[in-house]
Amino acid sequence: MKRIILACSAGMSTSLVVTKMEKEAAIRSLDYLIYAIPEQNLRDELQTYGNDIVVVLLGPQVRFKLVANKKLTDEYQIPIAVIDSVAYGTLNGAKVLDQALGLLH
């Protein structure tokens, strides 16, 4: 199954966004495994599931780690971006999902 990963400082605050994204993906009949992890676990996640991960989104609170993590995701040719702060703050799962899907094209 194709995976969309949200990486944040602890993997917890982003869980609400994940829930909203999952609901939106279901409405659109999209089949993605969407989940949050602590940003420091991204390297291990890529090593384990690199072939299945289609996009990585960083929580706004770890935006300063984008450059370092881009080096990791580039090895797997996986796009990465920082989640739109407004969409994140308003728990707009549809907008965050759109952002993730937009990185695939």
Catalytic residue among 8, 36, 42, 62: 8
Q: What is the token pair recorded at 43?
A: 């390297």
> Is 8 a catalytic site residue?
yes
The sheet carrying 32-38 orders its strands as: 32-38, 2-8, 53-58, 80-82
Contacts of 95 (CB under 8 A, 6+ apart): 84, 87
- Active-site residue set: 8
